[in-house]
Every structure is written in structure tokens, then in C-alpha cells.
A and B are shown apart, each in its own frame.
Chain A
């Protein structure tokens, strides 16, 4: 994009005729000129908003998750059986569910659970896939081939199906769900490990370290890892919303965390049976889930463009 920056600069400092003369008037450059001439560009504003708004949503969700349950006065389990399936009111800002429980209180606890499951899943996936991937790559040879054949196998399974089987196999609870999500998404990080390790291995600084007699592990830990951590952070940011969605699908299907736990997926599943009488109880978690997902996805995309211009396609095409 060197050319565009140049065109912008010329267009800023000189009359239009000069900029047209300076660059061949292709369709693209003419369009860029038009853009550069507008001092306050809508496109730029849109781009800023696309970063600021998602960031605000995520920060808000984090605050809710951390502070929400400690605020007091909100009980996600208390049943007010006379106030079942009620719409928003002063006492219950988002209404009540089919057992007369406070939807807002449940939504707040659900925020924490979604983020815990999502972040936990990413951490498990990152450490599992990353560590094993690096270990296999350093070992090389048959170990690497066998390990990546297994990774390919897991990768080829439909994600929801694999997570479903894993979570049933591991049992109910937040811990098992986190592990199930971690295993499901681990292959992505294993591919990142292999791709980055191979890329860095070809670099001169690795050859230099080798010539000093450093071992494979030493080179990995002290030289390669600091250079590739950006790729892992980026991939983690991309996987996070998908982890959160997968958790909610599992809860929606009645699997995963304990039946009583107010996760968003569980809330949606329960309230959808009374959707006609009380749409708010469904809409609240649906909107919360999609808002958080889209915000995290947009931020992840920003991060990818900022930190990792070299795309790791294996990881991205999931």
C-alpha cells in the first residue's frame, strides 16, 4: 500500500492537477484522490468506530463479568413463582423467566460463564495445541508425522459434533466444557506452531544460534517463542468468539455445564419454549451473545491485521 500513501500525501500538499500528473490515472488512484480530498472521511470514521465500539462492548462485558456477580441484590436462582414469564418491569428490568427468575441477574452470571468458558477454552487449546505442536516439530521425523496425522483427524471432525462427544465423555461442569472446547480448537494452534516453527527455522538468527551449539529446545524457548507469540495471540483472539459460540450451542443442546447454571445457551433453550408469552427472556441472551461474538470477532480481525501481516492460512481457514 506504499503507492496509496504516496498518492494521499501528494493530494494533501498539492493541487489536484499535480497529483493526477504524478501518477497514471488508473481507476484506483483516481478513487484514492477523491478520498484524500475529503478532509473528514466517512470511511475513516467508520473504521475508527469499528474498533472503538467493539472494544467498548468487550470492556463492558468484562466489567459485568468481574463486578456483576459481586454487586449484590441480584439473585439468579431466586424463584418468584407469582411473577413467571413477565416482561420488563421496575423490579425486573429484563423481566422474568418461566420459573420467575430474574433474567438480568441470570444474564450477568451468564456473561461471566461465557467468558470463562471461552477464555478457558482458548487457553487450553493454545497450550495443548501449541506445546504439543512445538514438541512434535522440534522432535521432527516420525513423531511429527504421527502427531500431525492425529491433528488432521481431529481437525476433519465437525467441530460441534466433536465438542458434543467430548463434553458428554468428560461429564457436566465448567471444567469439562473448557477442556472439550480446548481439545476441539487445539488443532488450529498446532498448525500455527508448525507453520511458525518452520518459518522461523529458516531465519538467520536461528542458524546463528545453531552454530553456537544451542539445542532445539533452547532455540525454541529463547529465540523462536518470543518471535512467534504474536501469531498465537492473534489466533487466540480469532478463536475466542468461536469458543464462546460453541459453548452456547452445547448449553443450548442441554449439554455442558450443570442444568441449573444460567449460561446464555441454557437460558435461550429454556426461554424459547415460552417465546410466545415472553420474548424478552429469549431476546436478551440472544442479543448479548451475538453482540459479544461480533465485537470479539471484529477486534480479533483488527489484531490480525495489526500484528500478523503474514497470514497463517491453515489456522485462518477454520
Chain B
């Protein structure tokens, strides 16, 4: 029992340090960006020199960099994400409004991707002489050859404009299918390899000898042992989801975190960029941490 707590504790601690490091990295990256938000606002609104100074003072932009970093980190720890100058509202507000869209898109894509990958890989193992093994390669090649934004445009052309099956704006199905297919393409091949290898294990021969049918053997005996492959690839899945949601939200006009990230980057909106970047990077770390813990707790091969 204590082993589990130690495991969870160290994973959480490690992840926390990773996120902290990312936050510092993001902070300084954002600070290299030439020109600040006051410059941008004053170009549009014609602020006087004095008003600019005052705004900088209000935003704390006149303080030293380490000081700004410290203030930002403590505020974040207290749940205060700061004020977006660009959108004239608290960053937390912007994030909470954008979050549901992105969460829906990401989880839908995740489910589709996992279902596709597992379905195709399992089918390819059960029926090795069918078209399924070729499908494994096809899906894999697709995800290499077709960046999600290109697939998105092809999808729009085909399903929205030519076939007229779905609307363009606010469409959730098409982007999730595209991201899902992309994610599936990245994990289906390693999963298939592992399933094939697991199928040659002695206990599988025993199961065959017992007279179990192929489907039962794959579902009950082979697949659970390949859980660790999916979990080991969770980093790939998570970054795929993040990258995919950014481009898909922009393409389909979905008001999510990815769109917010791009808008704030283009608008030099420090507080928003920082918060959103930390959120996106942090969620990848969190997914990895959770998957790592799940793997250690449930996979007999990884139990220490």
C-alpha cells in the first residue's frame, strides 16, 4: 500500500516541478516577444506617453523580470490568472469560457482515436489475412502524410461543401474525427506490433489449446496485456490532441483554448498567452502522470 503512495507522490511531485519549469520557460519566452501589449493598444487607441506609462505601471510591466515572474507565479498559485488587457476581462474568465469547447473536442477525439486504433489493431490480429493489417498501415501513413489542418480542409471540401452533410461553423464531429484519425494513426502501429507479439506468448497457446475462440482470446487475454502500450504512448496522444485542437479550432471557428492561444499570441496579450500555454503544457504533463500511475497500478508487467 505504501508503495502506491510513494509512487503517486513522486509522480505528482515530478509533474509539479515539470509544470513549474514550463511556466518559467513560457514566462521568459513570452518576454522575448518584441513589443508589449501597451504598444499594441496604444497604436490602436492612440494613448499618450503618460497614459502608456500609467498602464505599464498598473500592469506591473515596469518592474524587473524576476519580480514579474514571482508575482505571476504566486498569483497563479492562488488561482488568479491576471487580467487580459487585450480582451478587457480576467484571463480566468476567458479560459473558463473556452475550456468546455476544447474539453469536448479533445475528449471526443480521444475516444474516437482510441476506439479506431484498438478496433483496427484487434481486428488485424484476429483476422491476419483480411484487409485489416493493411488498414493499420493505411491509417498510420495517413497520419504521417496528412497534417490535421490539411485533412480539415479536405474534410470541409468533401463533407461540408460538396456533400453538404454538415455545417462548417461550430461543427464538432468533423474536427474530432480528423484528430481522432490522426491520433489513431500514431498509436495503431505500435499497438498492432505489440498485440502480434503478445499473441505468440505461451499462455495464449494454452488458451488456444483450451479451445477458446480467437475473439475471446484477443479481448480477454491479449488486449489487457497491451494496455501498457497505449499508456506508454499517452504523451504522443496528448501532444497530438493539443496540436490538433489548436488547428481545428482555428479552422472550424470553435471558440476554444487553441483559438484563444492563437488570438492572444497575435495580440501580444502576455497574461493570456502565459496562462493558456501553461494550461496546455500542464495538461499534457497531467495526462502523462495519470496514465503513468494507471499503468503502474494495473499492469502486472510494470508492478514493482
Contacts and interface: CB of A to CB of B under 8 A. Distances in A.
Interface of A: 149-150, 152-154, 156-161, 164-166, 168-171, 241, 245, 248-249, 252-255, 265, 268, 272, 275-276, 279, 282-283, 286, 289-291, 293-294, 297, 317-318
Interface stretch (B21-29, B85-93, B209-217, B292-300): B21-29
Nearest to B232: A317
Given A161-B280, A253-B250, A169 B154 contact: no
B285 interface: yes
A265 B153 CA distance: 12
Given A158-B239, A165-B265, A275-B156, A294 B141 contact: yes
Nearest to A255: B265
A286 B144 contact: no
Given A165-B29, A168-B33, A253-B250, A157 B281 contact: yes
Contacts of A254: 262, 266
Contact of A268 (B30, B34, B145, B153): B153
B243 interface: yes
Contacts of A249: 147, 149, 243, 247
Nearest to A279: B157
B51 interface: no
A282 B251 CA distance: 14
B246 interface: yes
Given A161-B277, A168-B265, A252-B247, A156 B145 contact: no
A134 B150 CA distance: 37
Nearest to B233: A317
Contact of A289 (B21, B29, B147, B235): B147
A168 B266 CA distance: 8
A279 B158 CA distance: 11
Contacts of A297: 141, 144-145
Contact of B161 (A154, A160, A275, A317): A275
Contacts of B32: 169-170
Given A158-B284, A160-B246, A249-B147, A153 B21 contact: yes
A252 B144 contact: no
Contacts of A165: 26, 29-30, 265, 273, 277
Interface residues of B, number: 45
Nearest to B251: A272
A1 B197 CA distance: 16
Contacts of A149: 21
A161 B29 contact: no
Interface of B: 18, 21-22, 25-26, 29-30, 32-34, 141, 144-147, 149-150, 153-154, 156-157, 161, 232-233, 235-236, 238-239, 242-243, 246-247, 250-251, 261-262, 265-266, 273, 277, 280-281, 284-285, 288
Given A159-B243, A169-B33, 4 more contacts: A253-B246, A286-B153, A290-B150, A291-B145
Contacts of A161: 242-243, 246, 261, 277, 280-281
Q: What 9 A-B pairs have minimum CB-CB distances, sorted nearest first?
A: A294-B145, A169-B32, A160-B243, A158-B242, A158-B239, A290-B145, A297-B144, A286-B150, A153-B21
Contacts of B161: 275-276, 279
A168 B243 CA distance: 17
B280 A169 contact: no
30 contacts: A152-B18, A156-B281, A158-B242, A158-B280, A158-B281, A160-B242, A161-B246, A161-B261, A164-B261, A165-B29, A165-B273, A166-B29, A169-B32, A169-B33, A245-B147, A252-B149, A255-B265, A265-B149, A272-B156, A276-B161, A279-B157, A279-B161, A282-B153, A286-B150, A286-B153, A289-B147, A290-B145, A293-B144, A294-B144, A297-B145
Given A158-B239, A160-B243, A248 B29 contact: no
A282 B242 CA distance: 24
Given A156-B22, A164-B265, A289 B34 contact: no
Nearest to A271: B153
Contact of B22 (A153, A169, A282, A294): A153
A282 B157 contact: yes
Nearest to A317: B236
Contacts of A158: 238-239, 242-243, 280-281, 284
B29 A275 contact: no
Contacts of A241: 144
